[in-house]
Structure 1
Amino acid sequence: MTPALNEPVQIVRTERGLTIAGTRITLYDVMDYVMDRYPPKFIRGLFDLTEEQINAALDYIEANRAEVEAEYQQVLKEAEELRLYYEEQNRERVARIATLPPPPGLEAAWEKLQAAKTRHQLQA
């Protein structure tokens, strides 16, 4: 999509990927909500975008749907690989932290937290 001569560029490619100009918000961030069919007004408010910025992002996504979706799938794949990597790297640390006693003075809050975790696990 080529902007008209007098229109500023709204979508730029940065080291983070396709990004809304003047922000750190990528089209992949927006795609998370587009794929879940959130309304544009909600997405705009969530990311504190102007009407022009959200329209430019949605127009770009629509005009370049195949390219954006392919990149989005790659971003999701890489994010999952990173999540799994760091989960494995921190497995021992998380297990060790889980065995620590509650901080002094927070025993009651700790018990409430443990009870909530137990209820959550039973519901899952």
Structure 2
Amino acid sequence: MTLASNEQAAIIRTERGLTIAGTRITLYDVMDYVTAQYPSKFIRALFALTDNQINAALAYIEANRSEVEAEYQMVLNEAEELRQYYEEQNRELIARISAKPPKPGMEAAWEKLQAQKAKHQAQLESQG
């Protein structure tokens, strides 16, 4: 289940899932960019990984593609469920906060924000 590099595991299983050893970066984090076909140099720089770390992660993903993709889909599904849960839990709070008037001295910023929201909404409606 692990790749060995100089007698040390490069990919380990933690409570967060398959993780690059010595980091908090999971293979699922890397998979977001692999599936979007980002170059390995970009992924390495984005996560501040060494060449050995990114090479080990990509090699592990390639060697265990079906297992990693299955776990990745589970992670994506759980993330979507959590997003929906918290969106529902916070819907009323967000509505209450957004209905409040701007703080004194912030009227100009508020008007600018409202104009940007209206412009964005009009763009969405014209696309849909």
- TM-score interval (norm. to shorter): over 0.9
| 1:71 Cα offset (Å) | 0.2
CA distance in 1, matches of 2:73, 2:33: 14
CA RMSD of aligned residues (A): 1.4
Deviations 1:31-90 (A, max 9, x none): 000000000011111111111111111000000000000000000000000000011111
Please state how far the C-alpha of 1:2 moved relative to its aligned partner: 4.8
How many residue pairs end up in the alignment? 124
Q: 4+ residue runs of structure 1 moved beyond 2 angstroms?
A: 1-7
TM-score by length of 1: 0.94
Amino acid at match of 2:80: E
Gaps in structure 2 of 5+ consecutive residues: none
CA distance in 1, matches of 2:57, 2:48: 13
Distance in 2 between the 1:5 and 1:44 partners?
Answer: 18
1:76 corresponding residue in structure 2: 76
Shift of 1:117: 1.5
Q: Which residue of 1 aligns with 2:24?
A: 24
Distance in 1, matches of 2:5 and 2:36, equals 34
The aligned amino acid for 2:88 is E
With normalisation by structure 2, the TM-score equals: 0.91
- Find the counterpart in structure 2 of residue 39 from structure 1: 39
Cα distance in 2 between the residues matched to 1:17 and 1:5 = 19
Cα displacement (A) at 1:118: 1.5
Structure 1 unmatched ranges of 5 or more = none
